[in-house]
Amino acid sequence: MIKKNVLFLCTHNSARSQMAEGLLRALLGEGYQAFSAGVSPTIVDPDAIRVMDEIGIDISGQRSKGLEEVRETKFDTVVTVCDNARESCPLFPGAGSMIHKSFQDPALFQGEERLAAFRRIRDELRAWIEGQF
């Protein structure tokens, strides 16, 4: 079976796109190859790793990547998961289709609200991925 390549794009490739990559790989990995990248990559947020671990998905081996690292890959679907990424990459050369689905940035939250925001966004991503793919 040929797997479909899916790229999740976000600004920093630190939380939303990383969680989406891990979710697609864990939930539907038999039919999809998941990738993620950022317009301005940084590091994978430790809170993203933590909340994914809570549901048994290990993304600790993933790293933040820039667009230049994935430009040569042919993607069946490119998903922008934040508005900034959509504005920066309205078109992705060679992509079969482009989807935009904006999710709130959990890194904007502080204190006790922060982990709750990461969990909420993780769960929203999971529900969207299960319904989309």
State CA 39 to chain mean position distance: 12
Rounded-to-integer distance, Cα 46 and Cα 18, Å: 11
How many C-beta atoms surround the C-beta of residue 97 within 10 A? 11
Whether 82 is catalytic is yes
Whether 60 is catalytic is no
Question: Shortest CA distance to 115 belongs to which of 26, 59, 54?
Answer: 54
User: Which of 9, 48, 51, 89 does the annotation list as catalytic?
Assistant: 89
- Angle, CA of 107, 110 and 113, to the nearest 5°: 95
Whether 35 is catalytic is no
User: Which of 34, 78, 82, 95 does the annotation list as catalytic?
Assistant: 82
User: Which of 10, 49, 79, 121 does the annotation list as catalytic?
Assistant: 10
Q: Tell me which residues are annotated as active site.
A: 10, 82, 89
